[in-house]
Structures are given as C-alpha cells and as structure tokens.
Structure 1
Amino acid sequence: MRIHFIAIGGSAMHNIALAVAAAGHEVTGSDDQIFEPSRGRLAAAELLPTNAGWYPEKINESIDVIVLGMHARKNNPELLKAQELGLSIQSYPEFLRASNEHTKRVVIGGSHGKTTITSMLLHAMRGLNIPTNFMVGAQLKGFSRMAEINPNRPWCILEGDEYLSSPIDRRPKFFWYEGHFTLLTGIAWDHINVFPTEENYIEQFDLYLETLAENATVVWCADDAVLGLIIRRCNRTDLKFIPYHTPPCSPNSDGTMTIEFEGNRSVTTSLVGTHNIQNLAGARTLAQTMGLETAAFDRIIASFVGAARRLETVHDENGFKVFRDFAHAPSKVKATVNGVKASYPSHALTAVLELHTFSSLNMDFLPSYANAMDGADEAVIYFDPAVLEHKRLPQLDPQFVRESFGAHPNIRVITDASSLQKQVQTLDTKNRVVLLMSSGWFGNAKWSW
C-alpha cells in the first residue's frame, strides 16, 4: 500500500509512519515544520520530506490512504486535493483501528496515567515474550519507536486519548478503537478548548463505554468518584466491570517503594509517587483480566523504570534529585506533587510548573489549579507571554495566576526563561527535590544538571 501522512512530523504521526514503513508499505509525508526528535528519526528512515510545506500536486490516485494529523488545518491544500479526488482520508486512530482489525485490542484511557499504564503493560508483554502491536505517548526504554503495526501479532495495546481525532473528525480518538479490554484511570476536566464544560467532558466517557466491543472487560479505578458514577449509570449489560484500588505501600531507605497486594504478594519498585502505585495496581489488574500470569507480571514489573518525561530522573547526586514530568492538567499536577512529596518526606520539594497548554493558559480554567501545588514546600509557576500571543489568548496578570493556585505561602510566578533558570539553578541543593512539570520545554531554559 501507498500511505501519505499529512503533518508527518507530529509525535504520534511520525512514529506511526515509521511503523508503517517497517511493515513494508510505501510511506510519504509532508509538514510545514518538523522538530527533533521527529526530524532525525524520519531522516534516518529516509522518510523526511525533502522540503517543508504542503504540495497538493503530489496528491494523486496512486495513494491508497491519507492519514491526517491534528497539526493540519481544514483548509490544508493537500487535504483539499485529496477530498477533491475522493481518496480515503483517515485520522491516525481510525488508521490504527483498521490496521488492527485482527487483534485483541486493549485500550488505556482516563484523564491521567494513560501513558504510564500503557508503558507498564508493554514492558510486561515484552518480558513475557508476547508479541503485540501498540501505540503509546512516550518513548520507552528498549523500544525503538512508540508504535508497532504487524499483521501477525495477536494483541494491540493502545493509549486511548479523549482529544479530537483530526481537524475534520471531531470525535475523541478512543472512540475509534472498539476495545475488547479497557482500563479507565479516573476523570478530571481538561481540554477546555474542545470540551467547554465539565459535564461535556465527562459525557465523552459515557459515550466511550458505548463504543467498546461486545462483551468487553472494563477495568476501572474505584478510588475515583466521578468514574464510579459513570460506571454505575452505564446501560450495557454485556460489559464486565472489574474495579481496582490504590494498594498499601511503604517507602524503603534506598528510595524504592514496597507495594502490598492480596495473597501476601508484594512488589518492590523504583517508581516515585503514590499515583504511580495506583497506576501499577491498575496495570496489574488489567494484565490479570488479559490472562497474564500474576507472579510473572510481578517479577517483570519490578524492573520497570518509567516512560520518558513521566517522573523521569534528570539528576541524582548527594541528596539532590531532579525529576522531569509531563504533568500539566490540575489533577495530574496535584497527584504528581503529592506523590513525590510522599516518596521524599524528609526533603524540601520545589515544584516548578510551566503553563503551556491552551487550557492552562485560559483565564476561565486557571482557578481549577487551586491548591494543586499545596504539597510542595516551594512552588514556581512559569508562563511565556509569547506563547499566549501565539495561541491568540489574552495576556495573563501574574497576580491573577498566583491567586488561582490558592493560598500557598511560598509561590512565585515568573514570565521569562532567564529568570526561571536563575531561580531554579540557585536553589540550595541540600536534601532537596526539584520537580519540573510541563508538556513544553520551559522556554528552552538551559539547566546545568
């Protein structure tokens, strides 16, 4: 098949393109800008477009499928040409679903923890030598890319995002997958630019349950009250619901955590934070429902070190630790801050959050962050006024931003990268943990660690 990717440079899109090429298909693509690491990885596979931009003259009837990324717009000239020719145009979740018709599909959804749980399950499948197709939102140790498409593999594990499928397909991505097994971590309103009210956001999870395959199994976190309401009001009698809870755990002197499970079983992990203990419990329950042997899962998961930018250790020396995390939504920020503090109760915790997403920079949404940083001894909030301008959002008053986070006694708002770098780099490192949280790059601040 010949498959053309419009907006090939995206994080998911370039990984899917690499997987499709590795499966033996002819792959072409286009984009108006491609950054690292996508650029280097596409170049190494000889898939990097020769020139940046959109070239409708290259769209013709020899193309079997157009895969359309979210970065493209509705008036993209290549998209318009494909529509004119009547070509098959698919979002990437639609394409993944079509490519995995033959598999048992496992979908991990929810407002937080999706990438980590998907990564845990992939780590276990790899350790058990069970071949699987997949799509995950972060680079994993031991995996050459974030996606795999092979027609001979019986399983497919997918991170199920509730965000839009494409510029012309406004459905959440996870509606496409028709999972045979699914896990839901919890629900906390996000993506205000797409789901303007909390009720509208929650409704997507009601609708998601309706998209599951017949007789599907739903593993869900019973610690989440909103998710519990959704499960209880679901009208489908063919679905099997299996709850999980956050298990008891205790920190060890070497920085590891020991988790206690039923049947006098325990797992010792290097993962940080009680939210990651909850994630592990969810992955373990899901693995059991899939038929994986529990003792084998426990043995293998002990070596899981996490996914890129998910409480990733940046520096660890003489009692000074720096973590980098992707947290940006209020619930994720609060869980990450509290989890790190619980793992390092004797250390001073400096939590640094960059407001980078549309929601986090929205004046109406910002009060949702109230008390999210309370678990930190010191909180730093950073945003770049140039990003607001680029997103066509009104400029924010730093005092309003500060007040939106509640009554934390030691919080500072910074609006330029050089001041942020100076603030963080001059911290006393004795018995201190620094937690850097962002879906961006802190204005390309240069850390010395």
Structure 2
Amino acid sequence: MINSTKKVHFIAVGGAVMHNLALALHQKGYQVSGSDDEIYEPAKSRLEKVGILPKEFGWFPDKINAELDAIILGMHARKDNPELLRALELGLKVYSFPEYVYEQSVQKQRVVIAGSHGKTSITSIILHVLAYHKKNFDYLVGAQIEGFDLMVKLTEDALIIVIEGDEYLSSAIEMKSKFLFYHPHIVLISGIAWDHFNVFPTFDKYVNAFEELADGIDKGGVLLFDETDEILKVLGEKDRAGVEKMPYKKHPYEVKNGKVFLETPNGELQIELFGEHNMKNLQGAKLILDKLGITEEMFYEAIQTFKGAAKRLETLGSNSNTHIYRDFAHAPSKVGATTNATKELYPNRKLVACYELHTFSSLNKEFLPHYDQKLADADLAIVFFSPHTLEMKKMPALDKEEIKAYFGREDLLVFTEAKELEGFLKSQNWGQSNLLLMSSGTFGGMDFVKFAEEILSLPVS
C-alpha cells in the first residue's frame, strides 16, 4: 500500500461518515484522534467505546502537531477553524474525507454509485450480495446496513471498493463534489433531479457536476445510467474514448396482494424491495455485480434476503389494517418516487403521506415549486415544517397557503407544531390505511418507533 499513514486527526469527527471512517481506521490499527463542537448519538457512544471520543467538545489547536501524518477535515468545519489554521501553519497534509478514501484505495478497483436518488439503496444491494457470497471488498455507504457494523471498511487486501458517491461539497477548502475525488473505474448514475440548492444555485451547475464525474472515467472504464431519465440519457450517451456505456431501466416485476415478485428466467421470485424506483436500483446493482463476477443466479439467490438500508422505506410496524413506513426522502424526486411506491404496493388502502420540509433546499421559496404534484399519489397529503428551523437557518417565513400552492394540492394539510401533527394522526381511523413518514429530520423530535406503536394500538372501525 502506498499510503503508510499511522497517526490521523479528524476535525469534525462526529459526522455520520466521519466517525465511521475514524472507526474504520482504528480497526486498521491507526492511531486516531478527533475534535468536534458537538457529537450526538450514536456517534458519541461508538467513539467512546474505542477511546476516540474527545474529552472536551470544541477546537483545540494544541492537538495539532508535526507528528500527525494526516488531518481529515469534515464539511462541518469552517475555513477559520482553529485546528485547521494550525495544521496549515505547520504545513500538514489536510484531506477531505473523499480525498483520504481515495488515498486508501488507490490500488483497488473503484466502483462509485452516484445520482440524485437511489445511490444508498444501490450501494446497499451491491454490498449485501457481495457479502452474501463471502467476497472480500471495501466500501463506503451513507446509511447503516443490516449485517454491517460500520458504514466504512478499509483494508489492505481487498481488491475492490464500492463507494456511495455524494455530489455535495467535500470540505470548506475543497469546494468540489465528493465523488470527483474517487477517480472511479466503474460509475453508475441513477438519476439527475436538482438538489442541494444552497451549493448548486442553478440546475446547469448541478448537472455539470455529474458530467464532470462521467468525463473523468479512464479508458477501459464503464458508465451505467438510467436510460429513462431524459437529462441523464443525454449525458450518458455522450461519446467518451474507451468508456463502455451501459444504459438500464427497471427490472421486470409484478405486485400481488402487497407482495413484489421479480420476473426472472426461472420464474417469479419474491423480494422485500418495492416500488418502480427500487426496481431500477435493483437492475443497476445487478449489472454492476455482473462486472464484479456475480452471476445472474448468484444475484437472485442473494437478493431474496435483502431487507433494505436504514431509513429507506423502512417498516416501523404493521398489523392487518395498517403498515407504517419511514423514509429519508427529502428531495422532490425522492418524495414522488417514495409516495408512488407505497401506494402501488397497497392500491386499495388509504395512504396518508407526511413530508417534513427540513433541508435548506426544501425550505427555500425558489426551490419549493419543484415539489409540485410530488404528493399526488397520497390520499391524504400532509406537510410539516418548523418555524424555528427557518429561524435557525436565517430563512424567510413560510405561509401555509403558499405551501399548498407549491405542492399543487388545495387539500394539503400543513402543520407547524409537532404535537398538533401527532395528535391529528392519532385521531384518524387507521382501518385499511397506511402511513408514510418522509423526512431527513424527526418531525420536531418524534420518536418514530414509539409513535408507530401508538398508531398501531389504536382501535379501528
């Protein structure tokens, strides 16, 4: 291995991927330290368990010294961070986490999964199938997956690394998309739908990031893309010297009585995944796995036991009348696809879909029109936002009537108080009705599991 780094310090160690990378390097035998101004669960307990949790929260320049082989800078840290300034003063090598992951995988075959939606699910499917067949591989994924202790694995001997490639910026001093630092051999782009309005102020700038990723594939590489996405098809069909183009679309499937069956050469095969978007995700993953030596038979054997990634159409609870789902959906395309998938699975049940406006983009009046008709498949559509969140983000106030217009539904219900929303949902008759909760937040502090239990215990008529 070219990289012989042994002492690494994390600035902003508490982030989801950052603390997982810290744990992965600790497992590898590195001496790891870190700082942050706040660290929440589960990162706090996980770092404490292995002795990496900072004794005090805050930034301490005296932690930075010439003995450190590398500094890994999280996106949460600003340009004027005292530890960063000290590292630059000493001339130490400062990496964003994608830069460092590349340094750790420079001699591996690098597979990057990108796209505005579906990248976590596709990456998760690939990891599950490889693990099922006991293949040796490294990875980086943006969610906790059943059967995997960490979201990051870096070893000396694995010849493959599968990376969920995020288009968001890398760090305060590397204002480029994370996925541009991985220099992949195989790239899959699942779709392009404008997101991260705060760092991509125009759709063209957003698309340009994905085009730069595709243009950076070396000769002999492979580009897979969803051919049903009109923007992506144009980008994917562009000629690139020595790069194989592999367009794909949804895997054939059928829904019967709330169950999903893949149509395979050997007949129907029941799986846990559902929704047209997930059938595209599954097909993309299948094609990549073929490139990694997984046959069609091996794929179908393994996919039967895949239950999905955490917070991606995750079942919170169910009974004979009601199924309650949670999803991380926040961008318009994700909200639309998730709502459609849930209704498709149970077309004869009433669907109550609740969506929280939580991110900078989703709370921005210039971006909100992109949510038009994204809750159209819900029988009862609800939007929640917190005025306090707007104040914290220093954004203009939102009006309930404005939100109804943005979503294109006069019958849209809009809540701004968490207790009021919970009370309304508990007052509903849940006979033959499903609930979908979509947010990258918590609906003002909702305990999802407990709330689902309370809904499922209500009498129905």
TM-score, normalised to structure 2, is: 0.95
In the superposition, relative to structure 1, how do residues 58 and 327 fare at CA in structure 2: closer, same or farther (>3 Å)?
same
Residues of 1 paired with 2:342 and 2:367: CA distance?
A: 25
Q: How does 1:260-271 map to 2 (within 5 A)?
A: 260-261=263-264, 263=265, 266-271=268-273
Contact 2:317–2:452 (CA<8 Å) still a contact in 1? no
C-alpha deviation, 1:166, in angstroms: 0.6
In structure 2, what residue type is equivalent to 1:433? N
Structure 2 segments unaligned to the other structure (5+ residues): 1-5, 454-461
Change (3 A) 1:252 1:68: same
Partner residue in 1 for 2:417: 416
Superposed CA deviations along residues 188-238 of structure 1, whole A, max 9, x for unmatched, are: 001110010111111111111122233111111111111001112x34221
Is the 1:322–1:434 contact (alpha carbons within 8 Å) kept by the matching residues of 2?
yes
Q: How far apart are residue 266 of structure 1 and its match? A: 4.3
Residue 166 of structure 2: aligned partner: 161
Distance in 1 (CA, whole Å) between partners of 2:335 and 2:193 is 11
Q: Distance in 1 between matches of 2:426 and 2:79?
A: 43
State how far apart, in whole Å, the 1-side matches of 2:53 and 2:428 are: 42
The Cα of 1:147 is off from its aligned counterpart by 0.5
Cα shift at 1:281: 1.2
Measured after TM superposition, the shift of residue 409 of structure 1 is 4.8
3-state SS, counterpart of residue 329 of structure 2: coil
Contact 1:377 1:410 in 2 (8 A): no
Counterparts of 2:306 and 2:201 in 1: how far apart (Å)?
A: 37
Letter in structure 1 aligned against 2:365: M
Structure-2 separation of matches of 1:240 and 1:290: 15
**Against the structure 1 CA distance between its residues 279 and 448, is the aligned structure 2 distance closer, same or farther, given a 3 Å change threshold?**
closer
Number of aligned residues:
445
CA distance in 1 between counterparts of 2:393 and 2:216 reads 33
Q: 1:341 aligns with which of 326, 339, 343?
A: 343
Whether 1:242 aligns to 2:246 is: yes
Distance in 1 between residues matched to 2:228 and 2:97, nearest whole Å: 32
- 1:410, 1:103 → 2: CA distance? 53
Q: Give unpaired runs (5+ residues) of structure 1.
A: none
Q: Which residue of 1 aligns with 2:34?
A: 29
Task: Give the corresponding residue for 2:438.
Answer: 437
Find the aligned partners of 2:241 and 2:303 in 1 and give their Cα distance: 33
Deviations 1:5-56 (A, max 9, x none): 0000000000000000000000000000001111111111211111000001
The residue matched to 1:251 in structure 2 has which SS?
Answer: strand
Deviation at 1:256, TM superposition (A): 2.2
- Give the whole-Å Cα distance in 2 for the aligned partners of 1:81 and 1:8: 17
Q: Which residue of 1 aligns with 2:135?
A: 130
Q: Give the Cα separation in 1 of the matches to 2:426 and 2:312.
A: 21
Deviates more, 1:63-72 or 1:385-394: 385-394
Instruction: After TM superposition, give the deviation of residue 291 of structure 1 in Å.
Output: 2.3
- Structure 1's 3 and 265: CA in aligned 2 closer, same or farther, altered over 3 A? farther
Question: Partners of 1:214 and 1:97 in 2: how far apart?
Answer: 19
Partners of 2:446 and 2:341 lie apart in 1 by 25
Is the 1:256–1:271 Cα contact (8 Å) retained in structure 2? no
2:304 alignment counterpart: 302
From 362, 365, 369, the equivalent of 1:363 is: 365
Corresponding position of 1:3? 8
SS at match of 2:142: coil
Task: Report SS of the residue matched to 2:444.
Answer: helix
8 Å contact kept, 1:8–1:14: yes
131-140 vs 205-214, which deviates more?
Answer: 205-214
Q: Which residue of 2 aligns with 1:379?
A: 381
Q: Give the Cα separation in 2 of the matches to 1:267 and 1:137.
A: 28
**Which consecutive segments of 4 or more residues in structure 1 shift more than 3 A?**
263-267
For 1:127 and 1:267, locate their aligned partners in 2 and report how far apart those are by CA, in whole Å.
Answer: 17
- Are residues 1:78 and 2:83 paired? yes
Q: Could you tell me how far 1:252 is from its partner in structure 2?
A: 2.6
Identity among equivalent positions (%) equals 42
Letter in 2 for 1:431: Q
Deviation at 1:86, TM superposition (A): 0.6
Indicate the residue corresponding to 2:55 in structure 1.
50
**What residue number does 2:24 align with?**
19
- In structure 2, relative to structure 1, the CA distance for the partners of 1:281 and 1:267 (3 Å cut) is farther
1:237-289 deviation per Cα after TM superposition (whole angstroms, max 9, x unaligned): 21101111113321133x3211224x455432111222111111111111112
- How far apart are residue 448 of structure 1 and its match? 5.0
Q: Which residues in structure 2 correspond to 1:221-300 (within 5 Å)?
A: 221-232=226-237, 234-253=238-257, 255-261=258-264, 263=265, 266-300=268-302
CA distance 1:49–1:227, change in 2 (3 Å): same
- Pick the aligned partner of 1:201 from 199, 203, 206: 206
Name the aligned partner's letter for residue 326 of structure 2. R
Name the residue aligned to 1:211.
216
Residue by residue over 1:326-376, the C-alpha shift from the partner in whole angstroms, topping out at 9 and shown as x without a partner, is 001001100110111111101110110001100000010001100000010
Root mean square deviation of aligned Cα: 1.2
2:331 is the alignment partner of 1:326: no
Asked whether the 8 Å contact 2:193–2:333 carries over to 1, the reply is yes
